[in-house]
Chains A and B, each alone.
Chain A
Amino acid sequence: MRWALPGALKRGGVLAINRRNAHYTQFLNPRKQYPLVDDKLATKRLVMDSGISVPELYGLVEAPYQARNLDQILQERENFVIKPARGSGGKGILVFSGRYKRAYRLSNGHLMEAEELRHHVLDILGGLFSLGGQPDKAFVEEKVNFDPVFEAVTYQGVPDVRIIVFMAVPVMAMVRLPTRRSDGKANLHKGAVGVGVDMATGKTLGGVLGNDPVAEHPDTGHPIVGLQVPHWEMLLSLAARCGDLTGMGYLGVDLVLDRIKGPLLLELNARPGLNIQIANGAGLLPRLEEVRRERCRLREVEDRVRFSMERFAAL
């Protein structure tokens, strides 16, 4: 069968984009909080005040003339990431992992001249990658030295953990693994593999590439099922706290696991994608309803984490 009937989707509890916008993001995410989430620098500031770790900020480019000082910001660093502050969907992000003479080596092995890099930064400032094309800032931060558990199932780039947080309760999670096709990026629509995670244990379930289920990483061939995400409970409580901090009722929290520093918050997303349901092979709607019913009795972060570990375990 090429497609499902609407009734079958409904039985599966699938949350689709119309409902997400009409019933969740528009009601639960206050407009004035959006800048906190859309601007990665604002997010960094917000969560650092409450003691959540983030990748170290190396430098900031706010105006075109500062792009000339890029060399100063980068100094002799070899591993770093350049991001637009208000980019979405991974647009405009470049990951570097070395140098060759005057050029910088991208994580996919290609070389980029200093001149090209400066032009990319100017594009960021011009708003090429920002929401609505508004002028933007560029920043340089450390490249996360990710936990070896994902080494075998990552093709260039940094894998991350996406957790959907509803009313400050984690409801669904997946690990996003970069592939050759996604060019080192961890965004599913770019071709990264999404792997569902059992909320109870932090063990990976099955994966999805595009809209199709997969059991191995397409480039490395290693199985992606049954991997244990380290610090699982800590990740969940970090995500729950982000829900509190932002006041967003429906939030996507992106975390990375650094080998030494442990879980770091990468960014937040006020309109998180819906493919996470395909990766988990389960719909979001029943979980959201369950949280809505019982939210009033879940006061502390620990309560909420325990709630989601108990209720949202994989079968």
Chain B
Amino acid sequence: MNKSHLYIALILSGLGLGLFLYKVLALGFPVVKETKASIWYVETHVTFEADGGPVKVVMNIPGNQATLRVSDESFVSPGYGLTIKEEGVDRQAIWSVREAYGEQSFYYRGVVRRLPAKDLPKFEEAPSVIPHGFDGAELVAAKAILKEAKSRSADLESMVQQLIKIINRPKPDELVAPLLKADASVRDKALLMVRILALEGIPARLRHGVKLEDTREAILIERFQVFDKGRWACYDPITAEKKSLPGQECLFLWRGESPQVTVDGGHNVRASTAVRATLEQAVENAITRGRTSNPLLIKFSLFSLPVRVQQVYEVILLVPVGAFLIVILRNLVGIRTSGVFMPVLIALAFRETKISWGIILFVSMVLLGLAVRFLLDRLKLLLVPRLTVVLLSVIGFMVAISILTNHLGLERGVSVALFPMVILTMTIERFCIIWEESGPAETLYRGVASLAAATCAYLVMSWHPVGYLVFVFPELLVVIMAFTLLIGRYSGYRVSDLVRFKTISEKQR
């Protein structure tokens, strides 16, 4: 009997485990992830079209703030000169070049660390207050607003909240109208509040920031900050809700007066920020250690990739784990799933929709698709056009379910669009044929088996230690490959065989 698969499997698992052990023992990569992240990568990507002349790009970049420290910054800007301007906590990166044509792309990347809360300085020095700059009718209106806010409040905090509520009143409001255009933005409103508070000599400012949580496309949040008893208190500039202290909840990228990025000599400016809660201190240390002792290993590893690509690979590397599970279920257990890797792709979609919603959405999509498929049966269409019609109705149902659940406020339902529609279409067609050929019982069996396999795959793939292990130690996938080779040549009985052939073994006794 041919044994070469054994040797290959042995070599593969030796390689994979060797690299894994080297990283764990020599470089000190931790095998288990710490529960709370305290280090994040923040990455801002800017693209624009250059007009052909001189270009100057000013990007606001984060500085140290409260308990957050920014370090290990890198700037990617091909051919541009770079200067960094610092004004207290506010920092700007300024890129310039004599001439540039076509699509331009910039990266800023920084590492943000959270210090323990005890290191937080107790009090800050009060900053200077900007001149309010009101005169004439404006001054009267501003004083009237301040008076109303004061009359409804007991202390500074409640006064600020009243002020935010007054400014955000639905228009028209005779108090606010003279000072604010009807289509004023959040920034305009905040600047007005800063000036009104300046009348009282209270320092205030607006800041833009991002939440420190894993995301490929961070949503910018605004905070109205008022200096109160030696601290900057944060408020939501629209709802007036009081927010936690700076540095707890989010990282402030820049202060409110200017946009995040301004470009002279270009148009179509796009900026997006990604955040990746990484790998805690221990992994960082291990990477640093690896850089000196084995620079190639780290240089050609996933950690050298841009943050958003890393996030894509976090998902991609999980797919083989799910596929391996399907191999086990099919070849060792003997469960007949419909389609070989359909359950893995469904499990990927479950990651976004979460399990219960995922099952509800999947089942309803398949049932709706089957209904269409059975109706189509009467029209006697040719095979490929029929598949296309089913695909079209699957997409139609997706849109309908997304819109419907969105209106009902069911956030998870909206993510039905993440289901792989081609796989769904083929699944529907296959179920339909199984139904006609082998009856509803077999269809139900296949459906339940596929769904159970998808659920298993989802549970394994969404288990955090698994995701952490394959991302930090992708060489473990080589070990999985070795095991897959072994199963590929496994010629023993499946669990299902034990039931199927039991009569024969009974006869032998």
Contacts and interface: CB of A to CB of B under 8 A. Distances in A.
Given A119-B380, A127-B383, A189-B438, A11 B508 contact: yes
B331 interface: yes
A281 interface: yes
A219 interface: no
Interface in B430-464: 433, 437-438
A3 B492 contact: no
Contact of A14 (B382, B437, B505): B505
Contact of A281 (B489, B499, B507): B507
Chain B interface bracket (under 10, 10 to 19, 20 to 34, 35 or more)? 20 to 34
A23 B384 CA distance: 37
14 contacts: A2-B502, A4-B498, A12-B505, A18-B493, A19-B492, A22-B488, A116-B380, A123-B383, A126-B384, A127-B383, A128-B383, A211-B499, A277-B501, A278-B503
A9 B382 contact: no
Given A3-B498, A211-B499, A278-B503, A14 B493 contact: yes
A195 interface: no
Contact of A277 (B331, B437, B504): B504
B501 A22 contact: no
B490 A14 contact: no
Nearest to A19: B491
Nearest to B442: A189
Interface string A133-165: 000000000000000000000000000000000
B244 to A, nearest CB: 57
B506 interface: yes
B497 A281 contact: no
Nearest to B380: A119
Contacts of B407: none
A192 to B, nearest CB: 12
B187 interface: no
A268 to B, nearest CB: 21
A122 B386 CA distance: 12
Contacts of A128: 383, 433
A14 B383 contact: no
Interface string A103-142: 0000000000001100100110011100000000000000
B3 interface: no
Given A126-B382, A126-B384, A127-B383, A9 B504 contact: yes
Contacts of A64: 382
Interface in A77-102: 91
Contact of B490 (A1, A22, A189, A208): A22
A223 interface: no
B380 A3 contact: no
A118 to B, nearest CB: 8
Contacts of B507: 12, 281-282
A116 B377 CA distance: 10
Nearest to B506: A4
B143 interface: no
B500 interface: yes
B492 A4 contact: no
B113 interface: no
A296 B508 CA distance: 30
Given A18-B493, A213-B503, A9 B498 contact: yes
Contact of A3 (B1, B490, B491, B502): B502
Contacts of B497: 9, 14, 16-17
Interface string B35-79: 000000000000000000000000000000000000000000000
Interface string B316-350: 00000000000000010010000000000000000
A64 B385 CA distance: 14
B231 interface: no
B354 interface: no
A116 B378 CA distance: 9
A212 B502 CA distance: 10
Contacts, number: 101
Given A9-B501, A14-B501, A211-B499, 20 more contacts: A3-B498, A3-B502, A4-B506, A6-B492, A8-B508, A12-B501, A12-B504, A12-B508, A14-B497, A14-B505, A16-B493, A18-B331, A18-B490, A18-B492, A19-B492, A277-B504, A278-B504, A281-B507, A283-B501, A283-B504
Contacts of B384: 126
A16 B499 CA distance: 12
B383 A126 contact: yes
Nearest to B429: A128
B494 interface: yes
Contacts of B490: 18, 22
B491 A8 contact: no
Nearest to A16: B497
Contacts of A122: 380, 382-383
- List the 7 closest A-B pairs by CB distance, nearest first: A126-B383, A8-B505, A119-B380, A19-B491, A4-B505, A4-B502, A16-B497
Contacts of A12: 501, 504-505, 507-508
A213 B494 CA distance: 21
Contact of B501 (A4, A126, A189): A4
A295 interface: no
Contacts of A23: 1, 491
Nearest to A128: B383
Contacts of A16: 492-494, 497, 501
Contact of B499 (A3, A115, A127): A3
Given A6-B498, A8-B508, A126-B382, A18 B503 contact: no
B3 to A, nearest CB: 13
A247 B491 CA distance: 23
A112 B382 CA distance: 18
A278 B507 CA distance: 10
Interface string B476-501: 00000000000011111110011111
Contacts of A119: 380
Contacts of B382: 64, 122, 126
A260 interface: no
Contacts of B502: 1-4, 211
Contacts of A208: 503
Contact of B489 (A22, A115, A213): A22
Contacts of B498: 3-6, 9
A190 interface: yes
Contacts of B491: 18-19, 22-23
A49 B500 CA distance: 40
Contacts of B501: 4, 9, 12, 14, 16, 274, 277-278, 283
Contacts of A115: 380
A301 B502 CA distance: 35
Contacts of A127: 383
Contacts of A212: 503
Interface string A180-204: 0000000001100000000000000
Given A12-B508, A116-B380, A281 B437 contact: no
Interface string A10-29: 11101011110011000000
A211 B499 CA distance: 9
B274 to A, nearest CB: 41
B273 to A, nearest CB: 45
B508 A17 contact: no
B365 to A, nearest CB: 22
Contacts of A91: 437
Nearest to A89: B437
A18 B494 contact: yes
